[in-house]
C-alpha cells in the first residue's frame, strides 16, 4: 500500500506539465517493465529478494533445447547447433557424452532403467545412449523429432514433423505409426495419470488425448497456433502452454533459409501468429491427413502478427474437459511449464529469461530473471528447479532465498528538462535507491553516473542533474528486504507557448449587418483573409515572400484578428494584441489580457495605410514570474484602403479620351469605361501593366454616331474602392 504522505503528494499533482509532478511505481505492471537481478516481483507490486540463481552449467552452445532428469539425480542437456548431449551432475560437474551427426537435438527421454534416448533433427533419427555408447534405435523417416516420452510399459513415443505423426517404439528398429494428427508438427508429449498419451500440435494448436493406436480425442482446440508444453495437474487436470508464434514453424523457416547443415535457429521475441484470424485450417477428423496444413518452404523467419491475439497463454484442462485460461500475455512467449511438489506452477518466458510462479488461486510472482534471451526448459531436481536458457545455452539452478538483489526501472520521460525533487518509497528491511538522468532516450555514456545510495525512504533528494529522462535502481539486502511503492517528484521546465498562425479578415459590421461596396467589383467585395504562420509563411502563393494583405471597404465592415496558439505544457494562456503602422517604431496596444483567440475592431478605426499586428502569448497566470514564458508572432503586412482613387480626364474628343487614375494608398487594379450606360468594358493602361497607384489610360473611340454621347470612366484600387469620371461628347 502507498503511504498517506505519498497519496497526498500524488493528489497535489496539477494537470499542467509545468507544475510539480510525480512518477509513481506501485503495481505489478509498473515494476515488471524493469530489469531484475536477484529480485522477485509479487502480483501486488512488491519487490523482494529472489531465490539465489546459480549458474550450474555452461554448454558453450547458443541454446539448450531440452533437459531430461536421470534416476540418479543427474541431468541430461541437449544443445544446438552442434547436436551435443551433456550429462550434468548435481554438483555442476559435466561431461560431453555424445555428439550427433545432425545439428539439433530437440528431444530427450529417460526410461525407468536410466537409458537415455535422443532425437536428432533435421532428417534425423532416434538414438539410444547407454554406458557412453550411442546406437541407432529407430528411424521415423521424419524431418523433425520434436518430443520424446516413455511409457510405464517401456515403450518410447516420438512426436515428429513435418507430417505431425506420433510413433510408438518398442525396441531397436521396432516401431509403428501410433497416430497421425493431421497437423504439421507434434510439439509436445506427456502420459497422463490414466496412461493415455497427450500430444500438443502445430499449426492449429490442438491438444489430443491418444488412448490407443489410431484412437484419439481432441481434448482442447486452442486459439493459439501451437501447444508447446504439457504438464500434469491436480485431480486429473492437465496444464498446457499455447504459443502464438508457432516456434516449430519458426525453427523450420530459419533452417530453410540457412541450410540444414549449418542452420542456427534461435528464439526471438518477434515470434507471432502465422495464420490469419478466422482462416485457420482445422482437420475434420483426427485421421484426415488431407486436412493437415502442409509445411510450406519458408522464406522468412518472421511471422505475421494478428492484432488483438495473445502471444502465449497457459490453460488448465479440467477432468470434465472444461478449460480455464490461467495466464496470457501479449508481450511474452511461454516455452515451458513445470508443476512443483507444492502445487504451484512455474513457467519460463522469452523476456530476459524470466521464471514465473502461479499459485492455484492464480497469484502470480516473477520469481527470477536470468537475463538470458529465453528460458527454454524447466526441470524439477531434488528440492529445486533447473532452468535451461538460450543465448547463451546454460543451466541455472534456483536455490534458497538470496541475500541481495537489485531492480532497475524503465526510463521515465518527463517530456521536457525537469528539476528532480525527492524520492520516497515504502519498504521493509534494508533498502536503498540510486538515480541517474540524461537527455537521450536510452541510457548511454552521455547520462550522469549512478548517484550514491539514497537510504531515507521518507524522502531523499534526487541528486541527479536536471534532464528530461530519469532512471532509478533499487537495491535490496537481506531476506526480509522489500519495496512496494516508489514515487519520484519532479518539476518540468516550463516551455514557451506556441503561436501557430495569425489571420486577419473582414466581416460585416454589427451596425450594418452586411458588407457593402461597389457591386461591379465582386472580387474586391468578397471577404479577404491572409494567414501568417509561426514559420513566417503567408497563405499559399506561387513565389516566396510575404505579400501585403489589402482589406477593402473597412468603413462599412469590421476587422477581425484571430490566432491559433497552444502551450506544450497545457498551461492556460493570456494574450496581448498590438499594432503599428508602416514607418512607425512603437507598438500600440489594441487589447491586453485577452483569453480569447480573436479580437474585432470597427473598420474605420484605422486610417488608410499598411499595418502590422503582433500577438504575444504568455503563461504568466499559472506560473511564477521567474519561470513564466511568452512568445510573440507578427502578422504579414495588412493594407487598409477606404479611399477611392481619383479619376482625372486630361483630354477628350470624339475619337480619343486620355485620363489618369490616382490612389493615395494602393495600386490601381482595374479600369473600365461605358458608353451611354452600356456594359462596362475593361481598359488597359498606357504602360500595359496595372501595378502602381498612378496609371494613365488612353481610350480610342471609333464609329460614334452623330449626336451627344456620355462616356463613364471608372478605376478601382486594390481595396475595391472605385472612382468615377464623366465625359460628355457633343
Q: pLDDT-based confidence at 14, cuts 50/70/90?
A: very low
What kind and span of H or E run contains 120?
A: strand 116-121
- pLDDT single digits (tens) 497-529: 999 999 998 877 655 444 333 333 333 333 344
Comparing 304-308, 359-363, 381-385, which segment has the lowest mean pLDDT? 304-308
The rounded mean pLDDT for the chain is: 85
Separation between Cα atoms, residue 288 and residue 273, nearest integer Å: 24
Strands in 292-393 per DSSP E: 312-317, 323-329, 334-339, 345-349, 354-358, 364-369, 374-381, 384-390
Q: pLDDT-based confidence at 632, cuts 50/70/90?
A: very high
Separation between Cα atoms, residue 540 and residue 369, nearest integer Å: 58
Q: pLDDT-based confidence at 44, cuts 50/70/90?
A: very high
- Residue 273: the pLDDT is 32
Identify any residues that bridge with 207 across adjacent strands, giving them in sequence order.
Answer: 200, 220
**Percentages helix, strand, coil for the chain, rounded to the nearest 5?**
5, 50, 45
- pLDDT single digits (tens) 316-373: 999 999 999 999 999 899 999 999 988 899 999 999 999 999 999 899 999 999 999 9
Give the CA count within 13 Å in the CB-facing half-sphere of 12: 11
Q: Is the pLDDT at 402 greater than 90, yes or no?
A: no
Do 227 and 334 touch, CB atoms closer than 8 A?
no
Q: pLDDT-based confidence at 301, cuts 50/70/90?
A: very low
Q: Is the pLDDT at 313 greater than 60, yes or no?
A: yes
DSSP strand pairing (75-80 vs 84-88): antiparallel
What are the strands of the beta sheet with 529-533, ordered from one edge? 529-533, 498-508, 557-566, 598-602
Q: pLDDT-based confidence at 383, cuts 50/70/90?
A: confident
- Residue 270: the pLDDT is 33
- pLDDT single digits (tens) 557-596: 788 999 999 998 888 999 999 999 999 999 999 999 999 9
Separation between Cα atoms, residue 11 and residue 6, nearest integer Å: 9
Separation between Cα atoms, residue 424 and residue 245, nearest integer Å: 41
Q: Residue 718 is placed in which grid cell? A: 486594390
- Residue 217: the pLDDT is 96
Q: CA torsion 116→119→125→126, rounded to 10°? A: 30
As a residue count, the chain comes to: 730
- Residue 1: the pLDDT is 37
- Residue 257: the pLDDT is 59
- Residue 295: the pLDDT is 34
- Residue 550: the pLDDT is 66
* C-alpha closest to that of 637 among 489, 534, 538, 490: 538
Q: pLDDT-based confidence at 71, cuts 50/70/90?
A: very high
Angle at 222 (CA atoms; ends 217, 227), nearest 5 degrees: 85
- Residue 294: the pLDDT is 34
| DSSP-derived 3-state class of residue 235 | helix
- pLDDT single digits (tens) 222-261: 999 999 999 999 989 999 999 986 666 667 665 665 554 4
Separation between Cα atoms, residue 270 and residue 254, nearest integer Å: 13
Separation between Cα atoms, residue 678 and residue 681, nearest integer Å: 9
What kind and span of H or E run contains 63?
A: strand 63-69
The pTM of this model reads 0.68
Question: pLDDT exceeding 70 applies to what percent of the chain?
Answer: 82
Separation between Cα atoms, residue 593 and residue 591, nearest integer Å: 7
Separation between Cα atoms, residue 649 and residue 724, nearest integer Å: 10
Q: CA torsion 563→568→573→579, rounded to 10°? A: -40
Cis, peptide link before residue 203, omega less than 30° from 0: yes
- pLDDT single digits (tens) 155-206: 999 999 989 999 999 999 999 999 999 999 999 999 998 889 999 999 999 9
- Within 10 A of 674 (CB to CB), how many other CB atoms are there? 15
* C-alpha closest to that of 80 among 245, 265, 351: 265
* C-alpha closest to that of 714 among 657, 642, 664: 657
Amino acid at each position: 500500500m502507498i503511504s498517506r504522505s505519498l497519496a497526498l503528494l500524488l493528489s497535489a499533482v496539477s494537470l499542467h506539465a509545468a507544475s510539480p509532478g510525480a512518477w509513481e511505481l506501485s503495481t505489478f505492471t509498473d515494476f515488471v517493465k524493469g530489469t531484475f537481478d536477484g529480485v522477485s516481483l509479487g502480483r501486488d507490486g512488491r519487490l523482494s529478494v529472489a531465490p539465489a540463481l546459480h549458474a550450474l552449467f555452461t554448454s558453450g552452445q547458443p541454446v539448450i533445447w531440452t533437459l531430461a532428469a536421470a534416476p540418479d539425480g543427474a541431468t541430461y542437456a541437449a544443445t544446438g547447433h552442434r547436436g551435443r548431449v551433456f550429462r550434468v551432475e548435481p554438483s555442476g560437474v559435466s561431461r560431453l557424452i555424445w555428439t550427433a551427426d545432425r545439428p539439433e537435438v530437440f528431444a530427450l527421454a529417460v526410461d525407468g532403467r536410466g537409458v537415455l534416448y535422443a532425437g536428432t533433427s533435421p532428417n534425423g533419427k532416434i538414438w539410444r545412449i547407454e554406458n557412453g555408447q550411442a546406437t541407432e534405435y529407430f528411424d521415423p523417416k521424419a524431418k523433425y523429432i520434436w518430443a520424446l516420452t516413455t511409457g510405464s510399459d517401456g515403450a518410447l513415443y516420438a512426436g515428429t514433423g513435418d507430417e505431425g505423426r506420433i510413433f510408438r517404439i518398442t525396441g531397436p528398429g521396432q516401431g509403428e505409426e501410433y497416430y497421425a494428427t493431421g497437423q504439421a508438427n507434434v510439439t509436445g508429449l506427456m502420459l497422463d495419470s490414466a496412461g493415455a498419451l497427450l500430444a500438443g500440435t502445430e499449426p492449429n494448436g490442438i491438444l489430443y488425448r491418444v488412448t490407443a493406436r489410431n484412437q484419439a480425442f481432441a481434448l482442447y482446440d486452442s486459439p493459439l497456433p501451437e501447444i508447446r508444453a504439457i504438464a500434469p495437474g491436480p485431480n486429473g487436470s492437465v496444464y498446457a502452454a499455447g504459443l502464438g508464434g508457432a516456434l516449430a514453424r519458426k525453427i523450420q523457416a530459419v533452417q530453410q533459409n540457412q541450410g540444414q547443415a549449418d542452420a542456427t535457429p534461435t528464439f526471438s521475441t518477434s515470434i507471432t501468429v502465422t495464420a490469419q484470424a478466422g482462416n485457420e485450417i482445422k482437420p475434420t477428423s483426427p485421421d484426415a491427413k488431407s486436412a493437415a496444413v502442409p509445411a510450406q518452404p519458408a522464406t522468412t523467419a518472421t511471422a505475421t502478427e494478428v492484432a488483438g491475439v495473445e502471444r502465449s497463454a497457459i490453460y488448465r484442462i479440467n477432468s470434465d474437459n472444461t478449460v480455464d485460461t490461467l495466464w496470457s500475455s501479449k508481450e511474452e512467449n511461454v516455452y515451458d511449464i513445470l508443476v512443483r511438489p507444492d502445487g504451484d506452477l512455474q513457467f519460463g518466458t522469452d523476456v530476459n529469461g524470466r521464471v514465473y510462479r502461479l499459485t492455484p488461486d492464480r497469484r502470480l510472482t516473477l520469481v527470477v530473471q536470468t537475463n538470458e534471451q529465453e528460458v527454454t526448459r524447466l526441470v524439477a531436481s531434488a528440492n529445486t528447479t533447473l532452468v535451461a536458457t538460450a543465448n547463451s545455452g546454460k543451466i541455472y539452478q534456483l536455490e534458497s532465498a538470496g541475500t541481495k538483489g537489485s531492480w532497475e526501472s524503465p526510463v521515465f520521460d518527463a517530456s521536457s528538462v525537469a528539476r528532480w525533487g525527492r524520492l520516497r518509497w515504502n519498504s521493509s528491511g534494508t533498502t536503498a535507491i540510486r538515480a541517474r538522468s540524461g537527455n537521450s532516450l536510452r541510457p548511454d555514456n552521455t547520462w550522469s553516473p549512478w548517484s550514491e545510495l539514497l537510504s531515507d525512504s521518507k524522502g531523499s533528494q534526487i541528486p541527479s542533474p536536471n534532464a528530461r529522462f530519469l532512471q532509478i535502481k533499487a537495491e535490496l539486502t537481506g531476506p526480509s528486504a522489500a519495496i512496494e511503492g516508489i514515487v519520484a517528484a519532479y518539476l518540468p521546465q516550463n516551455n514557451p507557448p506556441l503561436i501557430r498562425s495569425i489571420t486577419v479578415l473582414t466581416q460585416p459590421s454589427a451596425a450594418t449587418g452586411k458588407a457593402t461596396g461597389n457591386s461591379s467589383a465582386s472580387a474586391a467585395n468578397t471577404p479577404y483573409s491572409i494567414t501568417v504562420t509561426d514559420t513566417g509563411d503567408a497563405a499559399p502563393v506561387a513565389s516566396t515572400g510575404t505579400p501585403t494583405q489589402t482589406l477593402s471597404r473597412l468603413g462599412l465592415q469590421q476587422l477581425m484578428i484571430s490566432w491559433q496558439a497552444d502551450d506544450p505544457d497545457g498551461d492556460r494562456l493570456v494574450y496581448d494584441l498590438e499594432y503599428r503602422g508602416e514607418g512607425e517604431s512603437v507598438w500600440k496596444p489594441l487589447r491586453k489580457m485577452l483569453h480569447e483567440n480573436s479580437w474585432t475592431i470597427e473598420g474605420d478605426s484605422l486610417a488608410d495605410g499598411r499595418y502590422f499586428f503582433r500577438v504575444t502569448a504568455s503563461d504568466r497566470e499559472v506560473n511564477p514570474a521567474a519561470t513564466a514564458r511568452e512568445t510573440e508572432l507578427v502578422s504579414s503586412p495588412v493594407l487598409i484602403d477606404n479611399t477611392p482613387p481619383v479619376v482625372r480626364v486630361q483630354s477628350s474628343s470624339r475619337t480619343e479620351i486620355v485620363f489618369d487614375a490616382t490612389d493615395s494608398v494602393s495600386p490601381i487594379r482595374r479600369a473600365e469605361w461605358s458608353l451611354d450606360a452600356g456594359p462596362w468594358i475593361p481598359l488597359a493602361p498606357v504602360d500595359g501593366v496595372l501595378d502602381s497607384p498612378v496609371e494613365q489610360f488612353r481610350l480610342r473611340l471609333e464609329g460614334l454616331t452623330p449626336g451627344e454621347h456620355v462616356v463613364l470612366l471608372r478605376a478601382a484600387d486594390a481595396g475595391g474602392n472605385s472612382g468615377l469620371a464623366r465625359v460628355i461628347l457633343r
